[in-house]
């Protein structure tokens, strides 16, 4: 098997497989891997030139409660507590039987992946559930992150891995995670941080002598690289890049085959056991986006390209139907955008590094706060969309003073306060010597912004935000500054000029609405009956969280678990 060939070349003359998977993102690669572990022949079809999808661009966290890793940091958690939390957070927004299937199979999925493949996890010491004020929530243990991976082990396959977002790297392609960032910021003050920083910097310097970017892979890139390395060990897995599924064939018992196309060449493939849809969601399908996400341009989405939703048309044509959501068809994050030198646009999600820190405030076109800046990124962006119905809030303005900029950075502007010139020149960053000057440049009322800052400065003194309750939960406080000397790690004054602002937009980071499925990940028809041999996982599957976002990694974690469920059910093992 030659994974480096493109299009139809890796197939040779083969026309039949046990399992065909549409999409080589995190969930699709996992489905292919779990099937391969059971000895099945697998065709993994990917319409782009890279594997990894949006998972490769993500933080790579997987929310999988009950794994054996959890005991190392949270020995008190139980399946009942997790179920209680999901009942409180999600309630009737998803099918409870599907949530239970996820909880019942999570540990087995992690165990099999770690025992039989290169996929390895570790629990982050503190990674709270997002609704940490609800009964059943925890501060750690349920969220797992991939162990960093040495990309050199991939050899020539390294070039198939979707590169990370450039703005998430430093020094020309060196990936860093939260641990690395903290060490780099503290390397002149702490011996442990100094040693850690020197080690990764030296590693990167050596890498750049041979490789196009750093090969020390972290976060989502590590997760996907480990899946790719594992798939390469199975000679019954075929990867077809730059290839599209054009139609799905069905018979009386369900799916019988697919037609694939690459470079104008088509081929009929017989599917013996099952077809798994893992194409990344509906979000970039022009018609579906206009219907489900009106007035939110696709250019605001930080998700990776490739998931055009074309495969959704095929599944609908054979009877598949979407699940129902009450308030939102997508998961969200506030994003800022900047034109790159090559003409492309960088879309930067503001997850954890800036908006919840002391000395930061977010306001609308009137200069007024409208949101708890330390809430989850999903709720933050939803608040933007809701507030915009009455007062212009898109874009919103994330504002900080000079002290906060130096300490935390803002968006694509890194901590330290140096190198601001290019960001100011192209308008990504706006600067004002005073709040009034900044307001003028942003075309918002100076009195509104000044009043909002005066209020937040008073709240910083007391540690209490009576308007939006910023920094009142364990999750929110975890996003703050643990070294902050004030009474609330999320609240600090904006006092030291100059003042700065970045424009924020609501960007969809994934689909919450997908195909309705059974607890075995089988796609259901309009009568609620499974379509034989047809499965959906990842963002193609109706989220078991409904339209809520209760924890980190609630797309990648269920994506892995249901990938295993789907593969085993298709092969008659579950």
Provide the pLDDT confidence category of residue 9 given band limits of 50, 70 and 90: confident
For residues 505 and 288, give the distance between their C-alpha atoms in angstroms, rounded to a whole number. Answer: 21
Exposure string over 481-520, b if 16+ CB within 10 A, otherwise e? beebebebbbbbbbeebebbbbbbbbbbbbbbbbbbbbbb
Give strand ranges (E) for 97-191: 121-123, 143-146, 149-150, 169-170, 174-175
> Would you say residue 4 has pLDDT above 90?
no
The number of angstroms, rounded, from the C-alpha of 233 to the middle of its chain's C-alpha atoms is 27
Split at pLDDT 50, 70, 90, the class of 196 is confident
**Do 362 and 467 sit in the same domain of this protein?**
yes
Is 4 domain-assigned?
A: no
Give the Å distances, CA to CA, from 343 to 296, 339, 340, 507. 21, 6, 5, 20
CATH number at residue 409: 3.90.700.10
pLDDT attached to residue 3: 59
Say which DSSP state 520 is in. T
9 occurs within a structural domain: no
Contact assessment for residue 45 and residue 23, using Cβ atoms and an 8 Å cutoff: yes
How high is the pLDDT of residue 451?
Answer: 98
* Residue-level pLDDT at 5: 62
Same domain for 340 and 441, yes or no, is: yes
> Could you give the percent of the chain with pLDDT greater than 70?
99
CA 333 to chain centre: 10
Q: Is residue 446 part of a domain?
A: yes
Return the exposure string of 318-351: e unless at least 16 CB atoms fall within 10 Å of the residue's CB, then b. Answer: bbbbbbebeebbbbbbbbbbbeeeeeeebbbbbb
445 and 518 together in one domain: no
Flag whether 225 is in a domain: yes
How does pLDDT run across 277-329, given as a tens digit for each residue?
A: 999 999 999 999 999 999 999 999 999 988 899 999 999 999 999 999 989 99
What's the confidence (pLDDT) of residue 541? 98
Residues 343, 222: Cα–Cα separation, whole Å: 28
Q: What pLDDT is attached to residue 267?
A: 95
Estimate the crossing angle of helix 26-37 against helix 219-231, to 10 degrees: 30
Q: How many CB atoms lie within 10 A of CB 195?
A: 11
Provide CB contacts within 8 A for 333, sequence distance 6+. Answer: 302, 349, 350, 351, 377, 378, 380, 381, 506, 507, 509
State the pLDDT at residue 1. 41
What pLDDT was estimated at residue 376?
97
How does 170-191 read in b/e, with b if 16+ C-beta sit within 10 Å?
beebbbbbeebeebbbebeeee
How many CA atoms within 13 Å lie on the side-chain side of 28?
33
Please state, in angstroms and rounded to a whole number, the distance separating the CA atoms of residues 574 and 483. 49
Inform me whether the pLDDT recorded for 390 exceeds 70.
yes
Judge contact between 361 and 456, C-beta under 8 A.
Answer: yes
Query: Is residue 574 predicted with pLDDT exceeding 90?
Result: no
Q: Are 494 and 456 found together in one domain?
A: yes
pLDDT confidence band for 197 (50 / 70 / 90): confident
**Residue 186 confidence (pLDDT):** 76
Q: State whether the Cα torsion 24-25-30-33 is positive or negative.
A: positive
Q: Determine which of 69-73, 115-119, 563-567 has the lowest per-residue pLDDT on average.
A: 69-73
Whether residue 186 sits in one domain with residue 157: no
Residue 310 burial (C-beta neighbours within 10 Å; 0-12, 13-18, 19+): middle
Tens-place pLDDT, residues 24-75: 999 999 999 999 999 999 999 999 999 999 999 999 999 999 999 999 999 9
Any idea what the CATH number is for the domain that residue 243 is in? 3.50.50.60
DSSP codes, 39-65 = T--EEEE-SSSSBBGGGGGS---EE-T
Q: Do 233 and 366 sit in the same domain of this protein?
A: no
Whether 54 and 81 map to the same domain: the answer is yes
Render pLDDT for 409-467 as a digit per residue (tens, 0 to 9): 999 999 988 899 999 999 999 999 999 999 999 999 999 999 999 999 999 999 999 99
- pLDDT (tens digit per residue) in 336-385: 999 998 999 999 999 988 999 999 999 999 999 999 999 999 999 999 99
Supply the mean pLDDT for the chain: 94
Q: Based on the domain organization, do 185 and 231 belong to the same domain?
A: no
Flag whether 293 is in a domain: yes
Nearest to 352 by CA among 147, 552, 207: 552
Residue 292 lies in a domain: yes
Other C-beta atoms lying within 10 Å of the C-beta of residue 253: 9
Q: Where are the beta strands (DSSP E) in 278-344?
A: 330-339
In a domain, 11, yes or no: no
Give the alpha-carbon dihedral of 220, 221, 222, 223, to 10 degrees.
50
The count of domains in the chain is: 3
pLDDT of 544 > 80? The answer is yes
192 is in which domain, residue-wise? 174-212
CA–CA separation, 97 vs 378, rounded Å? 25
The reply to whether 199 and 108 lie within a common domain is no
- The confidence score (pLDDT) of residue 49 equals 95
Do 240 and 349 fall within a single domain? no
* Residue 262 host element (H or E): strand 254-262
Between 125 and 145, name the one with better pLDDT: 145
């Amino acid at each position: 098997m030659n994974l480096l060939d493109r299009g139809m070349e890796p197939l040779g003359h083969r026309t039949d497989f046990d399992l065909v998977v549409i999409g080589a993102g995190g969930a699709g690669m996992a489905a292919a891997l779990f099937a391969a572990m059971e000895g099945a022949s697998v065709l993994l079809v990917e319409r782009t030139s890279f594997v990894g999808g949006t998972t490769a661009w993500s933080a790579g966290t997987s929310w999988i409660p009950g794994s054996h890793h959890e005991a190392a940091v949270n020995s008190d958690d139980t399946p009942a507590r997790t179920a209680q939390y999901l009942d409180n957070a999600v309630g009737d927004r998803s099918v409870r039987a599907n949530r239970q299937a996820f909880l019942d199979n999570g540990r087995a999925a992690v165990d099999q992946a770690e025992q039989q493949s290169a996929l390895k996890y570790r629990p982050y010491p503190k990674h709270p559930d997002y609704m940490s004020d609800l009964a059943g929530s925890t501060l750690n243990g349920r969220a797992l992150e991939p162990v960093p991976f040495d990309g050199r082990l991939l050899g020539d396959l390294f070039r198939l891995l979707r590169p990370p977002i450039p703005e998430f790297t430093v020094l020309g392609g060196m990936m860093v995670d939260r641990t690395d960032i903290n060490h780099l910021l503290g390397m002149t003050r702490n011996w442990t941080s100094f040693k850690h920083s020197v080690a990764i910097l030296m590693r990167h310097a050596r890498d750049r002598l041979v490789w196009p970017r750093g090969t020390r892979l972290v976060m989502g890139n590590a997760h996907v690289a480990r899946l790719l390395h594992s798939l390469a060990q199975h000679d019954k897995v075929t990867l077809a890049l730059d290839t599209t599924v054009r139609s799905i064939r069905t018979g009386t018992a369900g799916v019988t085959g697919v037609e694939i196309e690459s470079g104008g060449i088509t081929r009929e493939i017989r599917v013996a056991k099952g077809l798994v849809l893992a194409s990344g969601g509906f979000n970039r399908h022009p018609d579906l986006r206009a219907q489900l996400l009106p007035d939110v341009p696709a250019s605001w989405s930080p998700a990776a390209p490739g998931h055009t939703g074309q495969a959704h048309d095929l599944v609908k044509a054979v009877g598949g139907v979407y699940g129902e959501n009450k308030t939102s068809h997508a998961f969200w994050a506030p994003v800022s955008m900047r034109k790159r030198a090559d003409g492309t646009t960088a879309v930067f999600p503001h997850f954890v590094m800036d908006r919840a820190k002391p000395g930061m405030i977010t306001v609308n076109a009137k200069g007024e706060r409208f949101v708890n800046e330390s809430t989850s990124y999903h709720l933050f962006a939803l608040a933007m969309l809701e507030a915009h119905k009455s007062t212009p809030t898109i874009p919103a303005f994330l504002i900080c003073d000079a002290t906060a900029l130096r300490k935390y950075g803002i968006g694509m502007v890194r901590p330290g306060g140096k190198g601001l010139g290019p960001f100011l020149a192209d308008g990504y960053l706006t600067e004002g010597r005073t709040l009034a000057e900044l307001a003028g440049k942003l075309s918002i009322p100076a009195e509104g912004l000044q009043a909002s800052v005066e209020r937040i400065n008073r709240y910083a003194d007391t540690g209490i935000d009576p308007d939006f309750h910023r920094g009142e939960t364990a999750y929110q406080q975890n996003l703050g500054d643990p070294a902050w000397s004030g009474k609330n790690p999320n609240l600090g004054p904006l006092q030291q000029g100059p003042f700065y602002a970045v424009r924020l937009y609501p960007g969809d980071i994934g689909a919450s609405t997908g195909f309705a499925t059974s607890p075995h990940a089988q796609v259901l028809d309009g009568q609620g009956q499974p379509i034989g041999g047809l499965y959906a996982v990842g963002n193609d599957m109706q989220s078991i969280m409904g339209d809520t976002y209760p924890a980190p990694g609630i797309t990648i974690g269920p994506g892995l678990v249901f990938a295993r469920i789907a593969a085993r059910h298709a092969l008659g093992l579950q």
